[in-house]
Amino acid sequence: MKRIVIFASGSGSNAENIISFFRKDPAITVAAVLTNKNSAKVLERCDRLGVPAFYFNGPAFKGSGAIVDLLHGLQTDLVVLAGFLWKIPENLVEAYPNKIVNIHPALLPDYGGKGMYGDRVHKAVKDNNESETGITIHYVNENYDEGAIIFQAKTMIEPTDTPETIAQKVHQLEYEHFPKVIKKLLS
């Protein structure tokens, strides 16, 4: 069985969607969810869904091999970033080359980089009067949003759209495509 570990920092809606998608898959399972915020709503979702969840602090993540050791112990085949905001340290990228994927709420290379996440992206897209936006699923390297692109999906932006309605459209793309791309990567 292939094993996914999800990293999340926030509400965990994408994590829950992935967990639910693979719940009945005999070949793939979500082994655990890791978070850098002990108050993240994703922890409540994991508790409700019966998925092991672990909190870690900055020194454990950046200054040691603790996370790599934990991932090895969980027999991780793929690390999935689902709303995880910290930069992945070099030792983790080296331990899991082309085995860490992220979803970005825009069509990279546009609107990527440090500080470009969530509502900040949708506001920038709206402020620049873009006619379309979307999602990018990409491999993670040592730089924010610069890893090789695996998949993109687009949605149109209407003149009446707001950053909030753009976010809703983007979330729908995330929920529809992220689990399917993960499954394809592990098949």
Task: Please say if 122 is a catalytic residue.
Answer: no
User: Does residue 91 have a pLDDT over 90?
Assistant: yes
User: Does residue 100 have a pLDDT over 80?
Assistant: yes
Of 104, 122, 138, 177, catalytic:
104
Over residues 23-28, the mean pLDDT reads 96
pTM recorded for the entire structure: 0.96
Q: How confident is residue 64, by pLDDT bands cut at 50, 70 and 90? A: confident
Question: Which burial class, exposed, middle or buried, applies to 37 when counting CB atoms under 10 A from its CB (0-12, 13-18, 19+)?
Answer: middle
pLDDT at position 16 is: 98
Q: Which residues of 80-119 are buried (b: 16+ CB within 10 A; e: fewer)?
A: bbbbbbeebbeebbebbeebbbbbbbbbbebbbeeebbee
User: Does residue 63 have a pLDDT over 80?
Assistant: no
Q: How confident is residue 43, by pLDDT bands cut at 50, 70 and 90? A: very high
pLDDT at position 80 is: 98
User: Does residue 147 have a pLDDT over 90?
Assistant: yes
User: Does residue 125 have a pLDDT over 90?
Assistant: yes
